Amino acid sequence: MDPNRIIQALKGTIDPNLRIAAETELNQSYKIINFAPTLLQIIVSDQVEFPVRQAAAIYMKNMVTQYWPDREAPPGEAMLPFNIHENDRQNIRDNIVEGIIHSPDLIRSQLAVCLRAIIKYDFPGRWTAVVDKIGFFLQSPNNASWLGSLMCLYQLVRTYEFKKAEERDPLIAAMQIFLPRIQQKIFQLLPDSSQLSVLIQKQILKIFYALVQYALPLQLVNKQTMTQWMEIFRTIIDRDVPPETLQVDEDDRPELVWWKCKKWALHLVARLFERYGSPGNVTKEYIEFSEFFFKTYAVGIQQVLLKLLDQHRQKQYVAPRVLQQVLNYLNQGVNHSLTWKQMKPHIQSISEEVVFPLMCYKDEDEELWQEDPYEYIRMKFDVFEDHVSPTIAAQNFLYTAAKKRKEVLPKMMSFCYQILTIPSEDPRKKDGALHVIGSLADILLKKNIYKGQMELILQSYVFPLFNSELGYLRARACWVLHSFCKLKFTNDLNLRNAVELVKKSLIEDKEMPVKVEAAIALQSFISNQDQAKLYIKHSVRPVMQELLHVVRETENDDLTNVIQKMICEYSEEMTTIAVDMTQHLAMTFSKVLQSDAYEEVEDKTVMAMGILNTIDTILTVVEDHKEITQQLEGICLQVIGLVLQKHVIEFYEEVLSLAYSLTCQVISPNMWQLLGVLYEVLQQDCFEYFTDMMPLLHNYVTVDTDAFLSNPKNVEIIYNLCKKVLTGDAGEDAECHAAKLLEVIILQCQGKGIDQCIPLFVEAVLERLTRGVKTSELRTMCLQVTIAALYYSPMLLVHTLENIRFSHSAEPITAQFINQWMNDTDCFLGLHDRKVCIIGLSTLMEMQNRPEAVNAVAAQILPSLLLLFLGLKRAYASKITNDQDENGEEDEDAEENEEIPSDEDDIREAGQQYLDMLEQHQVEEDEEDDDDDEWDEDGLEETALEGFSTPLDEDNYVDEYQIFTSALLRIQSVDAAWYQTLTAPLSEDQKKQLQEIFTLTEQRKNAEESKKIEGQGGYKFDMTAPVPTMFSFGATRGNN
């Protein structure tokens, strides 16, 4: 392979004028043997221009991630998909570690992704040598080669980072070699504060974190080695950052390696404390370690962290992420008496001089609010930001301390109250005080001493802020009202004022962050206060219009949730504005989808998804208003069309849900056309989205069956989709859904002349049964389609079975089907599946010209039916239990006290029980046998597919009890010999069970007749009146 040719093509990809031709050249070359190794040579060559090397690294990263693993040919295709040739793979394995070690940072990071993909697929099987190779370079005295070697080791550890402990053996074996070596190295480097030294230290900390963050390998980390590591972490946390770093701009300092190294050391001690070192809150295997860790290290580490907090308190610079991790550690320490005693003398100072300032409005907040209010909103509502924010860490720490330690709340409330009562106090401090009080709302509302004061505090210090000239104080006022939305107001006027103030802020305030907070506060009041819902009832239209405007402007996903909840709260009022709202939402969705930033910004995807869900909510709310639904259909079809036209697959699930909602009551000509469009668009993605399509396809079959059958193309489309799923590699869940849909068609179209479809349906499912089936669900579902065909027309099914031949056998499949059915009768679960099986067996045993295979299993038929009836009885009982409302009311007014004395630990019993339960569940999961027949049916009274109803599931359509008893009575009267053959194998106990079924059948029959008489306006059963002798009602309905 000519390297120069590839270099020229790569150079062309950087030039917009040459890009298309260059990409064409590369696409024609990448499958040629030796292309990938040549690419690696270009990447590591110092003779090649750096931009070209970078382009080569990106191209190689994409190649390796896509084409490294072996892949099988798609179903029905003989040609294997392209993979990097094994010779090329070996060449890359031989050279990539050296490539990473000798490359500059920007290229190293791309090659590291390649290495991780290779390790994922090839280690330990094809590439145990990677351990030796990394080990060789880790013996080098050259620090420069250490950095690259550690990057390689990091990829190895990260590959196993989230695997279960028992799956990490190859990593543990490697780390037996590497862990002592990297510990020795970091210990040697501690006195050296040069940038390269600290970079290496940081990389070692990252390796250790990936090794222990999910599971602590106790066989690697004994008490002695942990003590050495903890001393290393303590030293890094405690040491001073070079003073020259203060010359760097404050915004850039967190990126300096000295602060990053400190951050990782803190990340480690906080994680070790939280997950493995907190007695009473760990799983069994870590109990001994947690006690050792806590007694040996917890206080010593906390001492260093308190020193860091004091530096911050004295206005010395501490990086935000370092501060955040310090507070996370202290948050854990609050729960334990030993660490609390050390912390307690400083808690007031920490609360007032560290936590409180962090919770106040800051210069950087003001700068962002003024320069980019939309970014301010995005940052405030970003859940990822919460995980790194010192403000959120401060808030969490204060909440835990106030909840668990009685000394904290009174002093903090007194401190905040003092700030609020001074008229001339700094407005930013007032913001901080309200931030503190709102953060503690849950605790304050559960304590009698405080909850009675909260209404007065809102009235005196929060309501007036709605007139403030400062936008951030108006936003904070909204936020505080949101925090206290569950407060029981003693004066309705105060509640009305609160609602009016947030409504006015939403509609009239000029600053967008205020509007967003107001929207969330308003919805929370409406959801939690019945009176608030009434206050807003006559303002629904302007409120919803403003909400839509704010959503469109901010593209904030939290607000789409607000709109959805408001729609549900005001379902009646929604009918007048549903069309306008949906039109507005559709325009916003189109704007988001077609914006230039859509591809890059994940938030936009979440927000667009929220819009689709909101439209779906509107459809659900107005589903009983046919004329409104008709108007909404056109708007929704435009949205569906846009998604399908652009092939935005991440929204397929949502648009299929929209289509489902539009077809629940009636199916218009446009919606019938959509079926054909969906078939064309989704043919390629049929496997992945079939389960999402299933509710919609079920509607097409069942909502207007006559219209469905009037166009043969409809049946053909659904059959082809099901067939494609059953013959492909969609997975057994999708295959179960496909088989279920075929069963639904057969049962739905009983007596509607689909005889020509039956052989196709039966052959499709039985062919699937001849291939390997892992789960009993798929096996029974395929059998169920054939049983439904038996119910549809016994003679047609027998004729079909006799004429089906599969390549592996020249014999008809009849006997195989019946034998498999008999073997699997205990796998039919839930109401519907058992009902179908009982009706099928009843039909089978009553057939005049039954196949010989039926006679061969005669002894199994009635015992199987008895087993099914037993399960059915339990399923009916379970359904009745589930239908009953078991919601009990709790006393919300009872005061809750979760404080713990200073000399006690917070051992979370509920948390420990949960951890133990998880552990037990894991043990059970590990011991679980693949044999589905060992499942406990009691927990599976309803199957996942029962929601896709058929006529058999309708009340009074057919009674399986009457079908069975009638069939057996007819056999007894017309074919005594067959009756004797069927009943002879029954034990006395089974005969008794059979008699009970007869009795229950009569009871069900009488109950049904009573219901009919009552429904016709005849005799009404009175529980208190004597039963007239002229009527016989049999058993009450409770026996059903």
Radius of gyration for the alpha carbons in the chain, expressed in angstroms and rounded: 35
Output the pLDDT for position 21: 93
Which residue type, as a one-letter code, is found at position 567?
Answer: I
Which residues partner with 154 through β-bridges? none
Which residues partner with 809 through β-bridges? 806
Q: What's the CA gap between 69 and 122, in Å, rounded? A: 9
Output the pLDDT for position 902: 64
- Region at 647 (left for phi over 0; alpha for psi -120 to 50; beta for the rest): left
The secondary structure of 609-636 as a DSSP string is HHHHHHHHHHHHHTTT-HHHHHHHHHHH
Q: How many helices (DSSP H) and strands (DSSP E) are in the chain?
A: 53, 0
The token pair that represents 989 in the structure block: 């106990």
Determine contact, residues 236/265, Cβ cutoff 8 Å: yes
Q: What's the CA gap between 172 and 385, in Å, rounded? A: 34
Output the pLDDT for position 810: 61
3-state secondary structure of 806: strand
Taking CA atoms, 480 is separated from 465, 483, 487, 893, 916, in Å, by: 11, 5, 11, 21, 38
Chain CA centroid to CA 341, Å? 40
Please identify which residue in the block is written with the tokens 């994922």: 120
The token pair that represents 779 in the structure block: 């096996």
The token pair that represents 707 in the structure block: 């219209």
Exposed (0-12), middle (13-18) or buried (19+): which is 112, by Cβ within 10 Å?
Answer: buried
Q: What's the CA gap between 804 and 782, in Å, rounded? A: 15
Determine contact, residues 707/667, Cβ cutoff 8 Å: yes
Output the pLDDT for position 1011: 75
Output the pLDDT for position 77: 59
Which residue type, as a one-letter code, is found at position 140?
Answer: S
**3-state helix, strand and coil shares in percent for the chain, rounded to the nearest 5:** 75, 0, 25
Low-confidence stretches of the chain (pLDDT beneath 70)? 73-78, 596-603, 684-687, 807-810, 882-898, 902-943, 1014-1040
Q: What's the CA gap between 570 and 576, in Å, rounded? A: 11
Torsion angles phi and psi, residue 268, rounded to 5? -65, -50
C-alpha distance across the termini of the chain, in Å: 78
CA-closest candidate to residue 13, choices 2, 24, 3, 29: 24
3-state secondary structure of 373: helix
3-state secondary structure of 809: strand
Determine contact, residues 419/425, Cβ cutoff 8 Å: yes
3-state secondary structure of 948: coil
Q: Compute, in degrees rounded to 10, the torsion defined by CA atoms 541, 547, 548, 550.
A: 150
Does an H or E element contain 177, and which?
Answer: helix 169-189
Bond into 759 cis (ω within 30):
no
Output the pLDDT for position 892: 46
3-state secondary structure of 753: coil
Determine contact, residues 800/789, Cβ cutoff 8 Å: yes
- Burial of 743-771, coded b for 16+ CB within 10 Å and e otherwise, reads bbbbbbbeeeebeebbbbbbbbbbbbbee
Output the pLDDT for position 1016: 66
Chain CA centroid to CA 631, Å? 34
Which residue type, as a one-letter code, is found at position 793?
Answer: S
- Burial of 316-350, coded b for 16+ CB within 10 Å and e otherwise, reads eebbbbbbbbbbbbbbbbbbbebbbebbbebbeeb
Q: What's the CA gap between 398 and 416, in Å, rounded? A: 13
